Amino acid sequence: LEAKEEFSHKTLAMDVMRPRRSDPSLTVLAQDSMAVEDVEAIINETTYSGYPVVVSRESQRLVGFVLRRDLIISIENARKKQDGIVSSSVIYFTDHSPPLPPSSPSMLKLRSILDLSPFTVTDQTPMEIVVDIFRKLGLRQCLVTHNGKLLGIITKKDVLKHIAQMANQDPDSILFN
């Protein structure tokens, strides 16, 4: 395959992903240690379309990706219809959840809304390849890892902006139509 000339600049995934070096870190959810109110706070304080789910904040090991709208609907439904779901209920994205002491609030299992194999690339992947993958697979976002740890995210809009910068053109006219 021939490399397309317009993407021959050697920009890497790490140059396009968010967060930028000076930005606050990626907003992630931990798979089994956050309460309903913690996740609601994140939903209210950010506008991202989705959140990577990690084993723990310390490990930054990727577990999956959850869409904001699915989170909102699931939590709303659970609060209305599921017995014992309160602000302090712990959310589990894991397969198995631990037995809880009888006095603790019910847990909220959200594994069913988790995308368990979100697309990922390493931080060293040339943007040329990332653009190609976005096009061919019709991705909305792609996660970026380094040594197996989650580092950042690239959305379709990030890719469009990158292409526009490279080509100095209108972002809406290029990639997907």
Quote the CA–CA distance of 156 and 145 in Å, as a whole number: 17
For residue 23, give both structure tokens. Answer: 């930005």
Binder among 22, 44, 47, 147 for ligand ADP (CB under 6 A): 47
Tokens describing residue 42: 């994140």
CB of 104 to ligand ADP, least distance (A): 29
| Span from 2-10, 53-61, 116-124, 153-161 in contact with ligand ADP (CB under 6 A) | 153-161
**Nearer residue to ligand ADP within complex by CB, 31 or 85:** 31
Q: Does 19 bind ligand ADP (CB under 6 A)?
A: yes
Do the Cβ atoms of 125 and 10 come closer than 8 Å? no
**Segment near ligand ADP (CB under 6 A); pick from 48-56, 92-100, 108-116, 162-170:** 48-56
90, β-bridge pairs: 35
- Binders of ligand ADP among residues 50 to 109 (CB under 6 A) are 51
CB of 50 to ligand ADP, least distance (A): 6
- Choose among 30, 32, 36: nearest CA to 82: 36
Distance CA 42, CA 35 (A): 11
